[in-house]
Structure 1
Amino acid sequence: MAEKKKSGFWKDFKDFISKGNVIDLAVAVVIGAAFNKIVSSFVNDIIMPLISLAVGGKSVADWKWVITEQVVAADGTVTTAENALRYGAFIQNVIDFLIVAFSIFIVLRAFTKLQNRRKKAEAQEEEKKDA
């Protein structure tokens, strides 16, 4: 019985590979990685400097709430490290995510509209053929 499941699994895997979905997925991963670099650069190099300028010049990534200050000995060595919640980096990542999500939404929305137009055109052609 286990042998049937195994052969079914491998058959399904072979079918999956042969349909070309793997290549489509690989292309999507590569394009996604490149797109991520573009969006990250847009956020880090354009959006965040403008936000920093608007809020007094301090980099958003440096925003933090210090719980305990760093303690430095007389010789300059750090005896106790600073303990802080670095919420600025989190905000920057949220903005990054929102831009990616919005961009994907725009692309999917355009794709869906295009598909709907094609379906509508095909339906109209079918009606003409039937008439």
Structure 2
Amino acid sequence: MDADQINQVVGYVGAIVLAGISMAVVFRREKQLDDPDDDSVVYLEQLLKVTNLHTEGKYLVRILRQSGNLQKEDQIFYSPEAAIKAAIATFKRAKIEYVFITDNTETQFCFRRPYYHHGGKAEGRKVGSVEIYKVE
């Protein structure tokens, strides 16, 4: 075998290993999704049930792109239910069925899409995460 053939074989093996790791991560997330005791990965419809936000107050909703930039201007809601429903509508519009919860406290509720979407020229411009903060 010459050097070019060795490089091709190494490239193919590397691609197969990377694909295997990616599939393992996806399957692990889906397993967490089906586990009723694990509420770190949930369907959008379950967000209202798992939140720890207080029921009274004013809430700021910040929707971010995968790149970390703002997807849309911050919005203010007067109940956690309204704030979460607005976030759910955004994720449904982006065809995201479930989310990974990163923070769930009485004053903050943050969740993100379960995987990075490499969408061609729109890469990084897709909805990435939602941050809901109690401001009053």
Q: Normalization by structure 2: what TM-score?
A: 0.30
Higher strand share: 2
Normalised TM-score (structure 1): 0.30
Asked which structure has the greater CA Rg, the reply is 1
Structure with more of its chain in helix, by fraction: 1
